[in-house]
Amino acid sequence: MSETILKFLLVTVVTFMVVSAKPLQNNKQTNNTVVPTCDSKIYCQGDLLDTIQLSGIYSDSKTFVDMSMIYSVNETLKNFSNLMNQTNNEPTQDDLMQFISTNFVSANETVSWTPSDYNPNPSFLNKITDDEVRTFAQNLVAIWPTLGRKVSDDVINDPTKHSIIPIPNGFIIPGGRFRESYYWDSYWIIRGLLISGMSETAKGMLENFVYLINQYGFIPNGARVYYLNRSQPPLFTLMVSMYIEYTNDTNILTSIVPYIEQELSWWLENRTITVKKHGREYRLAHYQSLSNTPRSESYKEDYTTCSYYTDSNDQQICYQSLKSGAETGWDFSSRWFFDDQGGTSTNLTHIRTQRVVPVDLNSFLYKAFQSLSDFYRYLGDERKENQWASLSNDWLQSIEEVLYNQEDGIWYDYDSILEKPRKYFFPSNFAPLWADAYNQRHKNIYGKRAAQYFTNVNITQYLGGIPTSLDQSGEQWDFSNAWPPLQELVVLGLMKSENEEALQIAHLFGSRWISANIKGYNDSQIMYEKYDAVIPGAFGGGGEYTVQAGFGWTNGVALHFIKLFYSSDE
């Protein structure tokens, strides 16, 4: 670990122990007990948050909770109490706008940052064989400094006045409304940085995650206190593995492996359940936030969704399911919906994320356990090497026996209540191929059957990318949106199987994706967070907010595909 982060930890740990918002660490579910987002009376719970967010002042609920306080927490709460007394607890929108303008400011959280290792002409550009693709890749590299941020001194000196968490190193944001560091986005951002020769920036982002694990025992959804109620897909271990693959910097392992183990232990302790199939029991993971109040950053939206229910316990289950859905990274998708028959023919009100045993989550964990075992082997710790190898083998068996469908030749999410597979197309069905979470002696067979499944559900017709589902629910993680990370899951997974039919599909969609990205960029000079699978280059839609530009993981996946399909050394 770098000297910088060690100093930062020493300086800030006492402050955080005293004043920062705290996460929820208890895995026990309680009935009718309100479990808030975090303990902040400004950003996570209380009358101030409730009144402002339900007033409809802002079209995007994230606007308010990303503001910074001008005064202390107690002074701000006192000023709000005075406002409520003066207005008989019925402030108008004008009253609230005046209160916000005198007590909060939309600035001073982060500063723009150009990474010191940024190079507008990294060497890999010279290996790209297509002129148009090379120009596009150079444009992508040029976006990195526009997305670079560091936490400001204002936040470091007094974190209580801000919702952003003061991580020590510079980082790359996704873009648009997402102005902070995010967990699973960073996997593909770091991939793009490493391809761009920016290994120091990538290492700094890994150290930021070490800081978060050290502070909270896990990695939250993003670097905001209102994200402390949930995580995101557990890719930190695989980020470290990828960093070492590109840099050969194995020196990082001694200091970082304890934090990898701490994070994976958190998932094992807080997100695993016993799953039954054909009378046998298996241990697998699911997503489950324990908090059962509206998300701070989507407060009014959640309130509206869950107001369908009149019983307070049903409302709390709805809120918890929404937060669990946000933990998946797929917020939101029919993938998490349950109608009366256990199908997906319903809407967001009937989200029950915790009921799903997801293919991708368990594939990520399998790969992480396997990687940690490899790290311990390198460090010479045979006991822990065997411990994590044994766990990865157990997970592999559970994935095979619970999630793999022999009839269709693909993996499906599992309904833990009805104890049966959810036989719907999602790109996540291919995650075991991406994570090598299957018997490698039969990789060609698994690849062939997955390719046949892909063809049978007629995905090859989509020229703009692989759709997120075949369900037109209106949610953003459904048809016809095509998300960059999911393109990589499928394309790379099929490639790794080395089956000829699978390789053909992988190359087809790898090149289609780059063509769509180039068309979209040439039309708008923008990289979007998601695209339209039907119309190449068009941006996606649906969900709670308008499409965002930037965009961190889009650029990372594009650079990776360019390296795979358009570079002379691949």
DSSP 337-404: B--TTSSS-S-GGGB-GGGEE-HHHHHHHHHHHHHHHHHHHHHT-HHHHHHHHHHHHHHHHHIIIIIE
- Mean pLDDT computed over 209-230: 98
| Residue 17 confidence (pLDDT) above 90 | no
Q: What is the pLDDT of residue 18?
A: 33
Of 327, 376, 383, the closest CA to residue 353 belongs to 327
Of 570, 425, 558, 428, which Cα lies nearest the Cα of 486? Answer: 428
- pLDDT range class, residue 1, cuts 50, 70, 90: low
Q: Which of 297, 385, 471, 529 is catalytic?
A: 529
Q: What is the pLDDT of residues 336-356, one digit of tens each?
A: 999 999 999 999 999 999 999
* pLDDT tops 90 at residue 359: yes
Residue 331 annotated as catalytic: yes
Q: What is the pLDDT of residue 28?
A: 45
Q: For residue 241, what are its two tokens?
A: 């593995």
132 is catalytic: no
Structure tokens that stand for 66 in this block = 């990303």
Average pLDDT of the chain is: 95
At 41-63, the pLDDT tens digits run 999 999 999 999 999 999 999 99
- Calpha distance 164→182 (Å, rounded): 11
Closest CA to 365 of 515, 234, 535: 234
Give the distance from CA 236 to its chain's centroid. Answer: 11
| Tokens at 381, concatenated | 């710790």
Euclidean distance between CA atoms 446 and 430, whole angstroms: 10
Residue-level pLDDT at 22: 65
Q: What angle do CA 533, 535, 536 make, to 5 degrees?
A: 80
pLDDT confidence of residue 31:
62
Rounded CA separation 278/400 (Å): 14
pLDDT on residue 27:
43
Of the chain, the percentage scoring pLDDT greater than 70 comes to: 94
Question: Could you report the per-residue pLDDT of 487-496, keeping only the tens digit for each?
Answer: 999 999 999 9
- Confidence at 546, pLDDT banded by 50, 70, 90: confident
Closest to 290 measured CA to CA, from 312, 308, 316, 311: 316
pLDDT score, position 549: 80
The residue annotated as part of the active site, out of 331, 413, 478, 532, is 331
pLDDT tens per residue across span 266-309:
999 999 999 999 999 999 999 999 999 999 999 999 999 999 99
The confidence score (pLDDT) of residue 19 equals 37
pLDDT (tens digit per residue) in 445-460: 999 999 999 999 999 9
Rounded CA-CA distance 470/533 in Å is 11
Residue range 90-137, pLDDT digits in tens: 999 999 999 999 999 998 799 999 999 999 999 999 999 999 999 999
pLDDT in tens, 462-486: 999 999 999 999 999 999 999 999 9
226-242 pLDDT tens trace: 999 999 999 999 999 99
pLDDT at 3 over 70: no
Report the phi/psi class of residue 393: left, alpha or beta, with left for phi > 0 and alpha for psi in -120 to 50.
Answer: alpha
Identify the CA nearest to 190 among candidates 120, 259, 225, 242.
242
Instruction: Find the mean pLDDT for residues 306-331.
Output: 98
Rg (CA), the chain: 23
Q: What does the pLDDT read at residue 548?
A: 81
Within 20-159, residue ranges assigned H as helices are 47-54, 62-65, 73-86, 93-103, 131-141, 153-157
Nearest C-alpha neighbor of 377 from the set 365, 369, 386, 368: 386
Kindly report the pTM of this predicted structure: 0.95
